[in-house]
């Protein structure tokens, strides 16, 4: 029996950070043990914000090297660039006709930009391009092209996957057959939202990220920037409200967590010390992956070749989906 399909993508719109790692990359790699994995770099999604060709190229390679350094095996998992699968864009056009504008108006990312503009007293659509507005349709095409059953993502992407499911259902309903597989989001409970340096969601847009694979010295420097309150060393501290502890938990064993929890509550552990412990445990965790990442980045043509090979495999599946749909809608 063939295995179910697990698919996810990340856009190369910044340097990958530990929110991406725990929210998307790590769970995806674990799921690949039991699913047919299809993982890709959503470079056309990144064009909405990145208007610098050299930068986009660099970020794409860095993201590819990151996936591989974190354990993606291109021999057993399909790995490609969205832009190398042109069927994505034909499917996007098809899906447009089945996606209500109201659904797009309600999409969180668009709504948040409109709200920001309104609060600032600007035109509601100031600075918003059609790529952002139709973002969920392109994402639905990414997903529906590959007969995807599950999509591991962070909590912020749940609505987008639900939109893809809605659109698939609507198409299936109109043509009275199971043309498209209806996907489901998979969100890991423990890593729903990784907090950033300031306690908000770690995100490139908030400039509060801890990048993956920084050299140790730089990593330490950035960990030291985590925002804390002004409690003195000897004061007991509440681990449950500390961003340092919430990050520490991601790396520590149960015993290590229990011990740190106790030391926070007892007092006598300053924030500087807590940050040092966090740095050490993170550095130990990421060092082997960082070595692999550095090695991969030394040979960008190798990365490019892997992505090209992945795209060939991806196109075999993608072209079947497009053919099936063209046939169903009367364009073949």
In the complex, which residues of this chain contact ligand TRP (CB under 6 A)? 7-11, 42, 45, 139, 142-143, 151, 153, 157, 160
Q: Which of 5, 6, 19, 315 binds ligand ADP (CB under 6 A)?
A: 19
Residue whose C-alpha is closest to residue 296's, from 66, 13, 45, 47: 66
Are the beta carbons of 136 and 105 closer than 8 angstroms?
no
Instruction: Tell the smallest beta-carbon distance from residue 201 to ligand ADP (Å).
Output: 5
Task: Name residue 40's beta-bridge partners.
Answer: 9, 80
- Distance between first and last Cα of the chain: 31
Q: Which of 62, 204, 243, 315 binds ligand ADP (CB under 6 A)?
A: 204
Q: How far is the CB of 105 from ligand TRP (least distance, A)?
A: 18
Stretch that binds ligand ADP, among 114-122, 187-195, 261-269, 293-301 (CB under 6 A): 187-195
| 3-state secondary structure (DSSP) of residue 17 | strand
Tell me: does residue 201 bind ligand ADP (CB under 6 A): yes
User: Binding-site residue total for ligand ADP (CB under 6 A)?
Assistant: 19
When the beta carbons of 68 and 194 are compared against ligand ADP, the nearer one is: 194
On the CB side of 318, CA atoms within 13 Å amount to 23
Q: Which residues pair with 186 in a beta bridge?
A: 152
Q: Is 65 in the site for ligand ADP (CB under 6 A)?
A: no
**Binds 321: which of ligand TRP, ligand ADP, none (CB < 5-8 Å by kind):** none
Q: Please say which residue, 282 or 325, places its beta carbon nearer to ligand ADP.
A: 282
Spatial distance between the Cα atoms of 86 and 322, rounded to a whole number of angstroms: 10
Binding site partner of 56, from ligand TRP, ligand ADP, none, Cβ cut-off 5-8 A by kind: none
Q: Does 46 bind ligand ADP (CB under 6 A)?
A: no
Q: H/E/C letters for each residue in 265-316?
A: HHCCCCHHHHHHHHHHHHHHHHHHHHHHHHHHHCCHHHHHHHHHHHHHHHHH
| d(C-alpha 327, C-alpha 330), whole Å | 5
3-state secondary structure of 46: helix
How big is the chain, counted in residues?
A: 332
Binds ligand ADP by CB under 6 A, chosen from 7, 23, 31, 135: 23
> In which residue are the tokens 């639900």 written?
162
Q: Which is nearer to ligand TRP, 111 or 225 (CB)?
A: 111
Provide the pairing of β-strand 78-81 with 5-10.
Answer: unpaired
Q: Applying CB under 6 A, which of residues 47, 96, 193, 329 lies at the interface with ligand ADP?
A: 193
Tell me the residue nearest to ligand ADP as measured from the CB: 23
Which C-beta is closer to ligand ADP: that of 11 or that of 290? 11
| 155 versus 263: smaller Cβ distance to ligand ADP | 155
Does residue 157 interact with ligand ADP by CB under 6 A? Answer: yes
Other C-beta atoms lying within 10 Å of the C-beta of residue 171: 22
Which spans of this chain sit near ligand ADP (rule: CB under 6 A)?
10-11, 13, 19-20, 23-24, 153-154, 156-157, 191, 193-194, 201-205
């Amino acid at each position: 029996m063939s295995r179910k399909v697990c698919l996810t993508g990340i856009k190369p719109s910044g340097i990958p950070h530990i929110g991406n790692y725990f929210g998307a990359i790590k769970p995806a790699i674990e799921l690949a043990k039991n699913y047919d994995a299809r993982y890709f770099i959503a470079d056309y999604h990144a064009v909405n914000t990145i208007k610098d060709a050299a930068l986009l190229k660099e970020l794409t390679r860095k993201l590819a090297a990151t996936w591989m350094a974190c354990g993606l095996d291109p021999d057993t998992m399909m790995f490609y660039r969205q832009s190398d699968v042109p069927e994505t864009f034909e499917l996007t056009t098809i899906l447009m006709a089945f996606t209500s504008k109201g659904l797009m108006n309600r999409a969180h990312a668009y709504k948040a930009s409109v709200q920001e503009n309104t609060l600032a007293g600007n035109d509601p659509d100031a600075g918003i391009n059609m790529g952002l507005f139709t973002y969920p349709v392109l994402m639905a095409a990414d997903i529906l092209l590959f007969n995807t059953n599950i999509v591991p993502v962070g909590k912020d992407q749940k609505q987008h996957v639900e939109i893809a499911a809605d659109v698939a259902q609507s198409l299936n309903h109109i043509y009275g057959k199971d043309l498209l597989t209806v996907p489901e989001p998979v969100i890991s409970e423990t890593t729903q939202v990784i907090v950033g340096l300031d306690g908000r969601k770690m995100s490139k847009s908030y400039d509060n990220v801890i990048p993956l694979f920084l050299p140790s010295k730089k990593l330490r420097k950035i960990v030291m920037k985590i925002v804390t309150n002004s409690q003195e060393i000897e004061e007991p501290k509440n681990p449950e409200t500390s961003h340092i502890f919430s990050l520490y938990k991601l790396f520590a064993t149960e015993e290590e967590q229990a011990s740190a929890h106790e030391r926070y509550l007892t007092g006598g552990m300053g924030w500087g010390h807590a940050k040092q412990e966090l740095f050490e445990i993170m550095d130990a965790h990421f060092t082997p992956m960082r070595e692999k990442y550095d090695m991969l980045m030394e040979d960008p043509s190798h990365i490019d070749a892997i992505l090209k090979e992945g795209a060939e495999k991806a196109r075999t599946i993608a072209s079947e989906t497009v053919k099936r749909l063209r046939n169903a809608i009367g364009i073949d």
